[in-house]
């Protein structure tokens, strides 16, 4: 066995033996306590959702079709009584809170061999991702075993429904890229039923492409969400503050419209106040469980169905470039998500146009991005996932391309304990012609 192979084996053994943490996962075991059910009710391996888990999320953290009435095992504490409903608005509408505090802890950890994929996030001509600027990124360790992300990070997650029309979610990270940060936190109102109309206010990830860092099996960022262009630091992540209105129509049509604070202006000291950013998304699901969780076909596995979801999105904004001029940008995307029995496929294509994102006035840039991910549910315990991402930046008659290919093997040791073995290979002209890495990681939540 050569030194490189021996080093990787030692990294794998250490990752199992040592409890430490790294990038956050986003499952909520508080829901399992409320319903006294397995995490596999909503996840194939947390935080990746099953069709039922997706419907639960869209129902404001409630069982679809009014199922909470019989599914809840931990009865909530009522704030008032039903008679107040008849007196409203002369009396405050009654609500409820969980009988126990709906807080969960998530612990992640990984050992790496070679450079971490987050060291290679963007292509030539792109600024350092704002999400990573000034933060403690994993140091480069090409050809060496890295334990830098073993320890020092815990995720605190809280969420749930508070009566028929209100739900909340909060996520705080301790010891991640920052010592402590409020990652996400919002209030969700559902005044017209559990899925017809959602009004979300707070800090959240804009609903754009049907894929999310927060519901991914991989232990690193999505390039699709964390690549910026030129000197404009904007990207869908980090999460943004604002207002989003969404819903489900006819059970199979989903829609989202949002207005958020300009993330570029928020994080850059020299940027002046700019207009709010705006975005919209529409999607349609063919076959399988409806988006509202109804009319599901009987299958032998929680992830299995035959369905195709097609979506499209648009995002428009403007950022200040070094305080001298503005860069108006437009991002347009299409995506599809297919489930064919035990195969889960996600494909996203995005085009992003910038008017003048560099110090040179009147010089536009255009970036194209593609993501493809395939999971094969061989068993509920062991299953592989392959992902490919590519970014192509056109600037000043120059084409720069970066790509990343990843292969992941998941092992669900317990409903709330997941091990992952991952290998990555890619090319990033910002640092080196190519790179490769491997890691063994785990996540546990309670």
**186-228: per-residue pLDDT in tens?**
999 998 888 899 999 999 989 899 998 888 888 777 888 888 8
Q: Which residues contact 267 (CB under 8 A, 6 or more apart)?
A: 130, 133, 233
User: What digits encode the pLDDT tens for the residues 41-56?
Assistant: 788 887 888 888 888 8
Topology at the third CATH level for domain 3-445: Porin (2.40.160)
User: What digits encode the pLDDT tens for the residues 368-420?
Assistant: 999 999 999 999 999 999 999 999 988 776 778 888 899 999 999 988 888 99
- Determine if residue 242 is left, alpha or beta; phi over 0 gives left, psi from -120 to 50 gives alpha, anything else beta: left
- Determine if residue 429 is left, alpha or beta; phi over 0 gives left, psi from -120 to 50 gives alpha, anything else beta: alpha
Per domain, the residue ranges of the chain are: 3-445
User: What digits encode the pLDDT tens for the residues 295-307?
Assistant: 766 667 888 899 9
Mean pLDDT in residue range 431-436: 62
Question: Residue 135 pLDDT more than 50?
Answer: no
Of 286 and 39, the structure prediction assigns the larger pLDDT to 286
**How many CA atoms lie less than 13 Å away from 423 in the CB half-sphere?**
4
Contact 327, 230 (CB under 8 A): yes
pTM exceeds 0.85 for this model? no
In 100-179, beta strands by DSSP E = 103-113, 145-146, 154-161, 166-174
Of 213 and 123, the structure prediction assigns the larger pLDDT to 213
**Token pair 């297919």 is at which residue?**
338
Give 104's pLDDT tier (boundaries 50, 70, 90).
Answer: confident
Which range (9-23, 58-72, 73-87, 185-199) has the least confidence? 9-23
């Amino acid at each position: 066995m050569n030194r490189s192979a021996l080093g990787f084996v030692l990294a794998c053994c250490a990752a199992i033996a040592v409890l430490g943490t790294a990038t956050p996962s986003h499952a909520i075991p508080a829901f399992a306590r409320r319903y006294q059910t397995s995490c596999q009710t909503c996840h194939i391996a947390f935080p990746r959702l099953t069709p039922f888990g997706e419907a639960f999320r869209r129902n404001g953290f409630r069982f679809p079709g009014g199922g909470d009435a019989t599914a809840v095992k931990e009865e909530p504490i009522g704030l008032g009584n039903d008679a107040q409903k008849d007196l409203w608005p002369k009396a405050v509408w009654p609500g409820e809170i969980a009988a126990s505090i709906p807080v969960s802890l998530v612990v992640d950890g990984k050992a790496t061999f070679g450079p971490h994929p987050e060291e290679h996030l963007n292509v030539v001509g792109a600024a350092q991702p704002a999400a990573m600027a000034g933060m403690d990124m994993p140091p480069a360790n090409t050809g060496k075993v890295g334990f830098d992300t073993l320890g020092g990070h815990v995720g605190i997650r809280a969420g749930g429904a508070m009566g028929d029309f209100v739900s909340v979610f909060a996520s705080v990270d301790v010891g991640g890229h920052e010592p402590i940060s409020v990652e996400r936190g919002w209030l969700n109102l559902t005044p017209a039923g559990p899925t017809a109309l959602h009004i979300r206010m707070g800090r959240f990830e804009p609903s754009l492409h049907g894929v999310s860092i927060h519901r991914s099996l991989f232990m690193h960022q999505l390039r699709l969400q964390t690549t910026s262009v030129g000197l404009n630091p904007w990207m869908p992540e980090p999460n943004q503050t604002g207002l989003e209105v969404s819903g489900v129509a006819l059970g199979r049509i989903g829609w989202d419209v949002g207005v958020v604070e300009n993330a570029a202006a928020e994080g850059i000291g020299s940027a002046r106040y700019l207009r709010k950013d705006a975005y919209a998304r529409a999607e349609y699901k063919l076959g399988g469980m409806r988006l509202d969780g109804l009319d599901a076909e009987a299958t032998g596995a929680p992830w299995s169905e035959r369905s195709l979801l097609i979506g499209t999105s648009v995002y428009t904004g403007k950022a200040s470039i070094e305080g001298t001029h503005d860069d108006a940008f437009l991002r347009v995307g299409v995506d599809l998500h297919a489930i064919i029995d035990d195969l889960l496929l996600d494909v996203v294509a995005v085009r992003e146009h910038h008017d003048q994102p560099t110090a040179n006035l009147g010089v536009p840039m255009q970036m194209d991005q593609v993501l493809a991910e395939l999971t094969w549910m061989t068993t509920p315990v062991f299953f592989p996932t392959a992902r490919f991402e590519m970014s192509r930046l056109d600037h000043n008659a120059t084409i720069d391309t970066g790509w990343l290919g990843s292969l992941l093997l998941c092992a669900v040791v317990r409903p709330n304990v997941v091990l992952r073995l991952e290998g990555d290979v890619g090319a990033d002209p910002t640092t080196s012609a190519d790179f490769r890495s491997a890691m063994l990681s785990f996540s546990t939540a309670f």
